[in-house]
Amino acid sequence: MFGYITLTSAKELSENEKNNLTTIFDTVSFIVGSMVANINYWTDAILSAIDKGLIDPKDAKP
Amino acid sequence: MKNEVKKLKGIGIFKNFSESMLEEFAEFFSQTEYSSKDIVFKEEESGDTLLVVIDGEIIIEKCLDKAKGEFKTLAILGKGDFFGEMAVLGGQTRFAQARAVKDSVLYAINRPELINFIKKHPDAGVNVFTEITRITLDRLQHTSNELTMLFDMSKLLMKEHKSAPVFITQTIEEISKHLKGSWNINGYIKNRFDESYDLVASRENFMGDMADKNVKSDRVRRKGWMDNRTYLMAFPRKRGCSAI
């Protein structure tokens, strides 16, 4: 796992409230997870390229 | 019959039915039992039945990728909820798939029988349609909320992000704008040097009990509700990468 987000409600939620939120949270989780994976992939790729001397650290843009 | 009437009494769309009406109505219902993972109906199937969840849990899902078996969950329905009304009222094919996620008991009534009953009891019919409209409007509002949040999220995706923690911070800010009530939202990224997770972003609106800060690493693999207050969004490590 790259990471996670916890969302805690101040009040206890009913099954219906939880069900409604689940569909939204699942979608956001999918989008954010893909984006985090992409950011980490490119960060690793840039660091590796710097390490191999393929690019100048000054030109590296995250 | 008494047992059926008892079950129908607790269902929203029948709340204004008299005992005798329910008894008459119950005759038209057929009871079906589904095991967990059973498909109630498939997307684009023809059908003319309205289904009521008497027990269990049903997921309504839309297929995203048939070959990969990927679905987007549209709704999770429990005891007392109904579904299938689009096919019954609009005469359309099923817009999405319905699948049992727990062992479930459903009552089904088909369109001709529902219409006949309503013709015979117009007052009850008004109540049924009012309740169906109310629930449909609730579902429309829910979809609109989700769409608005996704629109805001898409703007976030178009921005340049220096690191995953920066992106998580902005995501948390965005999510918090759309949530009703008071929420504490915390974001964690795996430490590259050990197995721990570092808190990288936090938006707290009430004094928490710190419970969410102690998510065990094996629990992090499973997204979903940890209890009646806390939802965990987990970001799996993916192989390869798609261009943004």
Per-residue pLDDT reduced to its tens digit, B70-115: 888 999 999 889 999 888 888 788 999 999 999 999 999 998 988 8
Name beta bridge partners: B224.
B232
Instruction: Give the sheet arrangement for strand B97-100, strand by strand.
Output: B39-41, B97-100, B58-65, B70-77
Q: Is A37 on the interface with B (CB under 8 A)?
A: yes
CB contact under 8 A, B190 and A21: no
State the Cα torsion B37-B39-B42-B45 to the nearest 10°: 180
Q: Of B126, B125, B122, which Cα lies nearest the Cα of B109? A: B125
Per-residue pLDDT at A34:
84
Per-residue pLDDT tens for B220-236?
A: 667 899 999 999 998 87
Mean pLDDT, residues B115-128 taken together: 85
Paired tokens of B34: 């589904």
Q: Looking at the complex, does the CB of residue B137 fall below 8 Å from at least one CB of chain A?
A: no
**Exposed (0-12), middle (13-18) or buried (19+): which is B217, by Cβ within 10 Å?**
exposed
B20-55 tens-digit pLDDT:
888 888 888 889 999 999 999 999 999 889 999 999
* The token pair that represents B113 in the structure block: 């029988």
Surface of B (142-201) touching A: CB under 8 A: 142, 145-146, 149-150, 153, 157, 160-164, 167-168, 171-172, 175, 179, 181-190, 197, 200
What average pLDDT does this structure show over B133-145?
A: 89
Residue with tokens 């029988």: B113
When pLDDT is averaged across residues B192-203 and rounded to a whole number, the result is 86
Q: Where exactly are the structural domains of chain B?
A: 2-143, 163-232
pLDDT at residue A62 is higher than 70: no
Average pLDDT score, chain B: 85
Longest dimension (CA), chain B: 72
What pLDDT sits at residue A37? 82
* Domain B2-143: homologous superfamily in CATH: Jelly Rolls (2.60.120.10)
